[in-house]
């Protein structure tokens, strides 16, 4: 055993930092707001803060980084992952990118409040990029301060880990640390700024490259930098596709389309609404990235969005996420066109998205309903009728699908009584006679369809419970954790983190985390609607 292994330290992490080694950087060393050209990144040191305090850390993410609990609970850990000290091998920088925001080209955006510390190669040979969110100004901060508050940081930390344990492709979170400093935020941009506690989240992903990284170079006609970034991305993150060339570019784009489709299917499966699907918030790896004004669908409503900025147009509503992802991929195709010069080939590659999404959505819905396979001729109507019923009854999506598994469809008379009781208990409004009749008719069709598969009740229940979670990060639960944390009590943050590690398990004693949204949360800020404010 080496001396380094005897004395584990954050200075012993193996940093490779290939991104800044192989790609063009901003020659300006000073950190001030500006337009940056012909560069993939700019140098940016985190802001030093007065009194870092660890709120929580992910033990699974720590293990992936080969970090022991002793290291994670040390003062040095808090100092480094709040940004006060760079460990050996860290080289801090912010990425340069552009993007479409709410359907309109916004020009240069970049990491306005995110600073990458470097790329760690762990003991398994995996490349893991460490990024601090809320660690201060970068050249891309525009008119903002580069900071984040505890409120948004709790939401990002918990949701990153919750999504991972749900099986949804996502960036991860290592730590959540208070800065000991105050930040001014106008939560709803209505002229009522408040003083809030500052915080920093350490986010982790194989890469944080977005669609917008490629878009900005094409928009500026910087095709040389575009090619360097595309070639680097393929060699680093998609090496199985082969050495970069026009055919490999097309294969790579098709793979990005496929991964994006799989991610959206998972969002729809668990009732997640991203809230701000701008092209700068779309990961090239098909990961859920940038947890801002997200939300979990409680009463089923395809038109719901948690984002106050999108309240009028509802561009990023739950039922529109699949179409928006396709629109964003078209923008990426436009950005890649100068390297490929084959519009028809790019259009063919886009079929990877539609084919993957359509097949994935059908398989996902069959699984949620406990069916062996999706039979389009009859199951499409079955699903559409169910969604219409759930929308009209304001039915809690998570509770409905989880409890549907408990209905024994082989017991004819008891089955209907149990189903109507379940629907009543999982809906936010009383059922009218008309809705009861519609529910009874739907149940009969579903019952016949399910029994035809020949599955036992136990087998159907177990298969449904494997894809329909009991526990998700309900909006009001996150707000309760925030309320407590703002008073210095971090117990609920850590308890939620623990419960969300096993979202498909029953977890006796934790049933309160799988309850309907309480009345007080229906219209409360942070529970029903959020803004893009930190």
- For residue 198, the surrounding DSSP H or E stretch is strand 194-205
Q: In this structure, are 309 and 408 located in the same domain? A: no
Q: What are phi and psi of 429, to 5 degrees?
A: -130, 150
Residue 230 lies in a domain: no
Residue 3, pLDDT score: 36
Question: Is pLDDT above 70 for 298?
Answer: yes
Residue 5, pLDDT score: 42
Question: Is pLDDT above 70 for 320?
Answer: yes
The fraction of the chain above a pLDDT of 90, given in percent, is 93
Residue 2, pLDDT score: 39
Cβ–Cβ < 8 Å for 152, 534: yes
Residue 1, pLDDT score: 33
Domain that holds residue 495: 475-521
Question: Is pLDDT above 50 for 369?
Answer: yes
Residue 272, pLDDT score: 98
Residue 127 lies in a domain: yes
Helix (H, G, I), strand (E, B) or coil at 211: helix
Residue 4, pLDDT score: 40
Q: In this structure, are 173 and 256 located in the same domain? A: no
Q: What is the pLDDT of residues 321-346, one digit of tens each?
A: 999 999 999 999 999 999 999 999 99
Cβ–Cβ < 8 Å for 276, 316: yes
- Domain-ending residue, one of 338, 367, 396: 367
Residue 279 lies in a domain: yes
Tell me the pLDDT band of 502, cut-offs 50, 70 and 90.
Answer: very high
Alpha carbons 107 and 98: distance in angstroms, whole number: 5
Nearby residues of 457 by Cβ (< 8 Å), 6 or more positions away: 408, 409, 410
Using the structure block, give the residue that is written with the tokens 């050209």.
37
Q: In this structure, are 8 and 96 located in the same domain? A: yes
Residue 533, pLDDT score: 56
Cβ–Cβ < 8 Å for 273, 318: yes
Helix (H, G, I), strand (E, B) or coil at 284: coil
- Domain-ending residue, one of 341, 367, 393: 367
Q: In this structure, are 182 and 280 located in the same domain? A: no
Residue 461 lies in a domain: no
Count of CB atoms within 10 A of residue 448's CB?
11
The fraction of the chain above a pLDDT of 70, given in percent, is 97
Cβ–Cβ < 8 Å for 173, 108: no
Q: In this structure, are 353 and 416 located in the same domain? A: no
Residue 493 lies in a domain: yes
Alpha carbons 126 and 378: distance in angstroms, whole number: 45
Q: What is the DSSP string of 175-194?
A: EEEEEEEEEEE-TTSSS--E
Work out the average pLDDT over 274-299: 96
Strand partners of residue 128: 120
Work out the average pLDDT over 368-388: 97
Cβ–Cβ < 8 Å for 193, 8: no
110 CB-side CA count, 13 A = 29
Tell me the pLDDT band of 189, cut-offs 50, 70 and 90.
Answer: low
- Domain-ending residue, one of 367, 393, 418: 367
Tell me the pLDDT band of 6, cut-offs 50, 70 and 90.
Answer: very low
231 CB-side CA count, 13 A = 14
Q: Label residue 153 left, alpha or beta by phi (over 0 means left) and psi (-120 to 50 means alpha).
A: alpha
Q: In this structure, are 60 and 185 located in the same domain? A: yes
Q: In this structure, are 167 and 280 located in the same domain? A: no
Q: What is the DSSP string of 43-84?
A: E-PPPP-S--EEEEE-HHHHHHTT--HHHHTSHHHHHHHHTS
Number of folded domains that form the chain: 4
Q: What is the DSSP string of 214-251?
A: HHHHHHTT-HHHHHHHHHHHHHHH-GGG-S-SHHHHHH
Alpha carbons 448 and 516: distance in angstroms, whole number: 29
Q: In this structure, are 494 and 414 located in the same domain? A: no
Work out the average pLDDT over 393-417: 95
Least confident of 153-162, 420-429, 480-489, 518-527: 518-527
Cα-based distances in Å from 475 to 116, 302, 514, 518: 29, 17, 12, 11
Residue 226 lies in a domain: no
- Taken in order 52, 55, 58, 59, the sign of the CA dihedral is positive
Helix (H, G, I), strand (E, B) or coil at 511: helix
Q: In this structure, are 434 and 504 located in the same domain? A: no
Residue 528, pLDDT score: 72
Residue 220 lies in a domain: no
Alpha carbons 123 and 8: distance in angstroms, whole number: 13
Where are the strands (E) in 384-500, listed by range?
none
Q: In this structure, are 35 and 144 located in the same domain? A: yes
Q: In this structure, are 384 and 507 located in the same domain? A: no
Alpha carbons 373 and 379: distance in angstroms, whole number: 9
Q: In this structure, are 179 and 278 located in the same domain? A: no
Residue 193, pLDDT score: 87
Q: At what angle do helices 475-485 and 150-166 cross, to 10 degrees?
A: 140
- Taken in order 172, 178, 183, 187, the sign of the CA dihedral is positive
- For the chain, the first-to-last Cα distance in angstroms comes to 45
Selecting among 222, 231, 280, 301, the annotated active-site residue is 280
Active site residue 280: yes
Q: What are phi and psi of 113, to 5 degrees?
A: -145, 30
Cβ–Cβ < 8 Å for 283, 410: no
**Nearest-CA neighbor of 364 among 167, 172, 164?**
167
Tell me the pLDDT band of 244, cut-offs 50, 70 and 90.
Answer: very high
Cα 95 versus chain centre, distance: 19
Residue 508 lies in a domain: yes
């Amino acid at each position: 055993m080496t001396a380094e292994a005897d004395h584990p330290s954050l200075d012993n992490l193996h940093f490779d930092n290939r991104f800044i080694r192989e790609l063009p950087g901003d020659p300006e060393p000073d950190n001030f707001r500006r337009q940056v050209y012909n560069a993939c990144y700019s140098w940016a040191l985190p802001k030093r803060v007065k009194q870092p305090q660890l709120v929580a850390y992910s033990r699974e993410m720590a293990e992936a980084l080969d970090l022991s609990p002793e290291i994670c609970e040390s003062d040095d850990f808090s100092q480094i992952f709040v940004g006060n000290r760079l460990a050996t091998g860290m080289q801090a920088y912010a990425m340069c990118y552009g993007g479409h925001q709410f359907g309109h080209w916004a020009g240069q955006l970049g990491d306005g409040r995110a600073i990458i510390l470097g790329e760690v190669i762990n003991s398994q040979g995996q490349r893991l990029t460490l990024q601090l969110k809320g660690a201060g100004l970068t050249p891309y901060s525009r008119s903002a301060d580069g900071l984040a508050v505890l409120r948004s940081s709790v939401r990002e930390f918990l949701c990153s880990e919750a999504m991972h344990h749900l099986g949804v492709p996502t960036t991860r979170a290592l730590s959540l640390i208070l800065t000991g400093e105050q930040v001014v935020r106008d939560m709803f941009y209505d002229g009522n700024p408040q003083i809030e506690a500052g915080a920093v989240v350490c986010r982790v992903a194989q890469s944080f490259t977005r669609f917008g990284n490629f878009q900005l170079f094409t928009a500026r006609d910087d095709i040389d930098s575009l090619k360097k970034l595309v070639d680097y991305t393929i060699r680093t993150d998609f090496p199985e596709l082969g050495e970069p060339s026009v055919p490999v570019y097309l294969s790579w784009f098709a793979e990005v389309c496929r991964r994006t489709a799989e991610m959206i299917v998972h969002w729809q499966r668990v009732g997640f609404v991203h809230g701000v699907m701008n092209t700068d918030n779309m990961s090239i790896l098909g990961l859920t990235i940038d947890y801002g004004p997200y939300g979990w669908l409680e009463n089923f409503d395809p038109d719901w969005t948690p984002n106050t900025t999108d309240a009028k147009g509802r561009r990023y509503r739950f039922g529109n996420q699949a179409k928006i992802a396709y629109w964003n991929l078209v923008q990426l195709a436009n950005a890649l066109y100068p390297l490929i010069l084959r519009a028809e080939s790019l259009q063919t590659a886009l079929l990877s998205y539609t084919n993957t999404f359509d097949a994935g959505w059908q398989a996902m819905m069959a699984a949620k309903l406990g069916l062996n396979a999706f039979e389009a001729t009859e199951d499409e109507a079955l699903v559409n009728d169910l969604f219409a019923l759930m929308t009209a009854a304001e039915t809690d999506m998570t509770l409905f699908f989880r409890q549907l598994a408990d209905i024994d469809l082989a017991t004819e008379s008891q089955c209907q009584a149990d189903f109507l009781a379940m629907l009543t208990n999982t809906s936010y409004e009383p059922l009218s006679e008309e809705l009861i009749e519609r529910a009874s008719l739907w149940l009969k069709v579903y019952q016949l369809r399910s029994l035809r598969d020949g599955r036992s009740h136990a087998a159907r229940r177990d298969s449904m419970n494997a894809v329909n979670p009991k526990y998700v990060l309900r909006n009001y639960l996150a707000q309760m954790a925030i309320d407590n944390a703002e008073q210095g009590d971090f117990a609920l943050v850590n308890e939620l983190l623990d419960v969300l590690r096993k979202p498909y398990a029953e977890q006796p004693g934790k049933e309160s985390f799988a309850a309907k949204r309480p009345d007080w949360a229906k219209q409360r800020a942070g529970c029903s609607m959020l803004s893009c404010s930190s």
